[in-house]
Amino acid sequence: MTSETEAAVATTGSCCSPAGSCHSDGPADVQVGSVTTVYQVSGMTCGHCEGAVSSEIGEIAGVGSVKAVAATGEVTVVSAAPLDDEAVRAAVDEAGFELVGRA
């Protein structure tokens, strides 16, 4: 923190706004990279399967992170914008598995 930021926090009790509020009357800002989508994938049985699915989906433009869990068949994808389901389906197919749909 800079001394200016520290002074603002000390006088208002909050770093959110001069009035000490974290809320505004305006519309909420949308942050880039904040779209999280969970997909259901069938056929994953192990860590190698998780890695293959994660690797293929991770190559789609705009994908920031992928977490595949074989035990549940769920694949959580964080991306800069909503992904095209057909692009995800193609990536899962390339990995050798089947996209069931969104979880």
Q: From CA 4, how far away is CA 18, in angstroms rounded?
A: 12
Order across the sheet with 74-79: list the strands: 63-69, 74-79, 35-42, 98-102
DSSP-based three-state secondary structure for 19: coil
Cβ contact 62:81 at 8 Å: yes
Task: Give one DSSP letter per residue of 50-74, joined into a string.
Answer: HHHHHHHHHTSTTEEEEEEETTTTE
Whether the predicted pLDDT of 3 surpasses 50: no
Q: From CA 12, how far away is CA 14, in angstroms rounded?
A: 5
Condensed to tens digits (0 to 9), the pLDDT of residues 60-81 reads: 999 999 999 999 999 999 999 9
The position carrying tokens 């190559």 is 59
Whether the predicted pLDDT of 50 surpasses 50: yes
Condensed to tens digits (0 to 9), the pLDDT of residues 19-39 reads: 444 444 444 444 444 899 999
Cβ contact 91:57 at 8 Å: yes
Section 13-21 average pLDDT: 42
